[in-house]
Amino acid sequence: MAALCKYWAFAFILCQLGQQHMLLNSIGSMGSFFLLGLGALLLLINSGRVFDRKTVSSSPFIYSFVFIFILYQFTFGIFDLNEKTGIYLIAKVVCCLMIALSVQKDLSFYLQRLMPILAAVTSLLILLGFVHNNVIFEGRHTLGFCNANGLGAISSLCAGAMILNSSDRSKKKIAIILLCVLATFLSGSRASIGILCLTFVIKYGLNVKFLAVLLAGVLAWQIILPMAGISSTGLNRFMESVEKMDFSSSREGERKATLIMIAESPILGNGFDVEQSEKAKAVSVLGSHNGYLDIMKMIAIPYSMLLFAFMAYYTFTVWRKFHKSACDYDRIHLFVIISVLIAANFEAYLWGINQVVTTLLFTSFAVLQKRMTALKHGI
């Protein structure tokens, strides 16, 4: 039973990664649903540990998130409570609390081994994608993943994590970095390329080393990639966005539709996992590609502001504690947190259940906040 609790979050992350891959989608989906059911059972069995004051105090980000979502549902959101919203809320709560419980059970595993293992698995899937199911749309490669943005998101996080891991100087690590960086560029995801840039800023700071890496990147973009016949669509899109200072280009309609729904119910919200209203559908039937706007649409402005305040506070506390940490693993998880929170401005992260990137955000928060508690008590 202890092993199930310990490795639940790890297994869930792998299943979510599988869900994003064409060949493994059905297996990953079944695995995720099974783990959510198992997680609910494990939470009941370990309810004493889950709601213990020490557990809550060492994972305040997760518990604040869960508390606000539940509070909204049974106050302003009571009018939108139905089977669909109820299932979503239960699944989200199970997901969040099981992440906290897993990290509590084995902090060292999630601190040190999660990202290297995930990077290795992702690299294998990328290699497979070069020979099977590499759908190319408008110059953007999927490499076997269900969509290019999903490929870019996970590959950029894995590349960044491995780059920040100075303790590993093996050839395997270099190969993983090269594969994940290449996959990020081929995906054409502007947010993911931005995450790679953030990696080098964290790694080297704004100094000579950073400028050298930047110069090498420009040379690869302008000379090596074209000579190798590799599309640089992603870099071109990213540089165009930087020049125009517009990272939401082509998504204005989706954001406008979401803002319409926020304006329709700014105080009571529209409920969890809600469909577009008729007025919003006239503008766009798609989501906003912005996790913050999606949350505001669902739980309204008052609860959103409360949630965002907690998020900002806990982000600041882990940044203040670990941004100069001598431990690479601390900085890797801090990198994941900062990257996902920034990327949530351009993708619908934060509120989803079957999103590997969102799950990594919650896991990294749980890891660093547990680390803070351990360091405080001299463990």
Residue 302 in domain: no
* Both tokens assigned to 311: 């998020």
| 85 vs 188, higher pLDDT | 85
Does 70 fall in a domain? no
**Would residue 282 count as lying in a domain?**
no
Would you say residue 3 has pLDDT above 90?
Answer: no
Quick check: 148 and 189 in contact, CB under 8 A? yes
Given this model, what pLDDT does residue 344 score? 92
Model's pTM, two decimal places?
0.89
| CA separation for the pair 13, 77 (Å, rounded) | 29
144 assigned to some structural domain: yes
Determine the Cα–Cα distance for residues 184 and 195; give it in Å rounded to an integer. Answer: 10
Q: Is 276 a member of any domain?
A: no
pLDDT in tens, 20-58: 999 999 999 999 999 999 999 999 999 999 999 989 999
Above pLDDT 90, what percent of the chain?
Answer: 61
- Count of structural domains within the chain: 1
Domain containing residue 215 = 114-229
- Write out pLDDT tens, residues 269-283: 999 988 888 888 888
User: Residue 245: inside a domain, yes or no?
Assistant: no
Residue 35 belongs to a domain: no
* Residues 245 and 268 sit within 8 Å (Cβ to Cβ): no
Model confidence over 302-341: pLDDT tens digits? Answer: 999 999 999 999 999 999 999 889 899 999 999 999 999 9
Q: In this structure, is residue 30 part of a structural domain? A: no
| Cβ-count burial 28-55 (b if 16+ within 10 Å, e if not) | beebbeebbebbbebbeebeeebeeeeb
